[in-house]
């Protein structure tokens, strides 16, 4: 099998590419600007180019046909329209990475299936993913364009620690607050349900859809089967660090209002996603990919991630602005008590 990834070096795609090359022995090609050559997996063929330069890409792939094309960096309709023009007639399957945040917030049921309504008034990112899906499914229905849609939720790897509330520089400042035994903000009362998925587990489900005729014209959730509360997520992190968790629960609408001062879109990431309880039904995926299962539960995955982050200083990106913001939010709420 000959496959092409647009991107291919992100959290999700890295695990998929590694599995295809090392375990499945597929021929893997990447369209990538090559700015991070160390991230290009050994054994992958690189087409060094900017995917947004459509004419240049068309020239570079003119002599190629692919069994599967996967785009991990398409976020707008313009991007999937470009892919449609480039790969129509050049692939037997086009796989689009959508997002589970596209599901209605809140949905009528906390159990999310592929039939759950797509609608998210809180997050433009999610609305754009919905528009991408609509365009691609229209091309499938009217022209037979061989699309498969995948909806991941919160996927992580050894370079990332999944959190609910963090600043622009990512997770590290929260980890540092836990290590320093400072109060850590958790949205709401911390009891909403959430799912985090180790990227290598995700890769099993994803590669099982590649080249699978039963996947054409269909959408699939790919997530872990493990459901946790946010309190459990943060407590597990603290346990691995050997620190006491000083959880400070803050109402989501208050965080959204205060997030404006930080220049951070908490409405999208919280009300449009992480503050809403969700449990994903993966039975549709498992019917055609029976190997899909949770091999790395969160208590193991986060230990791997923290071991990596603590031994790699380049992962420890501090965020003093977010740290001060946390202190101010907590101080204001403490002063409001009587």
Over the stretch 89-141, which tens digit does the pLDDT of each residue have?
Answer: 999 999 999 999 999 998 899 999 999 999 999 999 999 999 999 999 999 99
- Tell me whether the CATH fold assigned to 2-155+198-222 matches the one assigned to 158-195+226-278+296-336: no
Q: What percent of the chain has pLDDT over 90?
A: 91
Handedness of CA 157, 159, 161, 162 (dihedral sign): negative
Phi/psi of residue 273, nearest 5 degrees: -160, -85
Query: Both tokens of residue 227?
Result: 């459901």
Average pLDDT for residues 19-27, to the nearest whole number?
95
- Cβ burial of 235 (10 Å; 0-12, 13-18, 19+) is middle
- pTM score: 0.95
Q: Which CATH superfamily is domain 158-195+226-278+296-336 in?
A: UDP-galactose 4-epimerase, domain 1 (3.90.25.10)
Q: Is residue 21 within 8 Å of residue 36, measured between CB atoms?
A: no
pLDDT band at 234 (very low <50, low <70, confident <90, very high): very high
Confidence of residue 72 (pLDDT cuts 50, 70, 90): very high
Nearest to 185 by CA among 266, 250, 115, 264: 250
CB of 204 closer than 8 Å to CB of 15: no
Mean pLDDT, residues 37-50 taken together: 84
Residue range 239-258, pLDDT digits in tens: 999 999 999 999 999 999 99
Cis peptide before 180 (omega within 30 of 0): no
Q: Under a CB-based contact definition with an 8 Å cutoff, are residues 235 and 298 in contact? A: no
Say whether 168 sits in a helix, a strand or coil: coil
pLDDT at 36 over 80: no
What stretches of 158-293 show up as alpha helix (H) in DSSP? Answer: 172-179, 199-209, 230-241, 252-262, 266, 283-288
Segment 207-232, tens digit of pLDDT: 999 999 999 999 999 999 999 999 99
As a whole number, the mean pLDDT across the chain is 95
* Residue ranges covered by each domain of the chain: 2-155+198-222, 158-195+226-278+296-336
Which strand (E) or helix (H) includes residue 155?
strand 154-156
Predicted confidence (pLDDT) at residue 263 exceeds the cutoff of 90: no
Residue 327: C-alpha distances to residues 176, 182, 303, 330 (Å): 14, 9, 27, 5
Q: Nearest to residue 193, comparing CAs of 118, 122, 273?
A: 273
Q: Which CATH fold would you assign to the domain 2-155+198-222?
A: Rossmann fold (3.40.50)
pLDDT at 40: 79
């Amino acid at each position: 099998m000959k496959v092409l990834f647009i991107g291919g070096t992100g959290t999700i795609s890295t695990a998929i590419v590694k599995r295809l090359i090392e375990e499945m022995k597929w021929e893997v090609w990447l369209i990538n600007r090559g700015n991070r050559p160390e991230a290009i997996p050994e054994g992958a063929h690189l087409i060094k180019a900017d995917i947004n330069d459509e004419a240049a890409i068309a020239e570079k792939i003119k002599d190629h046909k692919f069994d599967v094309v996967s785009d991990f960096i398409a976020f707008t309709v313009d991007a999937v329209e470009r892919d449609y023009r480039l790969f129509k007639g050049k692939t037997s399957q086009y796989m689009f990475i959508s997002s589970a945040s596209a599901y209605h917030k809140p949905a009528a049921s906390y159990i999310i299936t592929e039939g759950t309504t797509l609608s998210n008034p809180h997050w433009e990112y999610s609305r754009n993913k919905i528009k991408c899906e609509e365009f691609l499914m229209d091309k499938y229905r009217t022209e037979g364009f061989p699309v498969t849609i995948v909806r991941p939720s919160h996927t992580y790897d050894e370079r990332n620690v999944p959190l609910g509330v963090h600043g622009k520089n990512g997770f590290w400042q929260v980890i540092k607050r836990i290590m320093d035994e400072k109060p850590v903000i958790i949205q709401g009362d911390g009891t909403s349900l959430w799912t985090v998925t180790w990227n290598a587990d995700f890769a099993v489900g994803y590669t099982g859809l590649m080249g699978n005729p039963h996947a054409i014209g269909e959408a699939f959730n790919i997530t872990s089967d493990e459901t946790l509360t946010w309190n459990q997520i943060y407590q597990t992190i603290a346990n691995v660090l050997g620190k006491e968790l000083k959880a400070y629960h803050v109402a989501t609408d208050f965080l959204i209002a205060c997030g404006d001062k930080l220049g951070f879109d908490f409405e999208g990431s919280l009300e449009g996603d992480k503050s809403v309880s969700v449990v994903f039904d993966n039975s549709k995926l498992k019917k055609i990919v029976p190997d899909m299962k949770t091999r790395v539960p969160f208590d193991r995955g986060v230990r791997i991630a923290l071991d990596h982050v603590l031994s790699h200083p380049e992962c420890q990106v501090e965020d003093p602005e977010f740290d001060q913001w946390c202190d101010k939010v907590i101080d204001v709420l403490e002063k409001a008590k009587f």
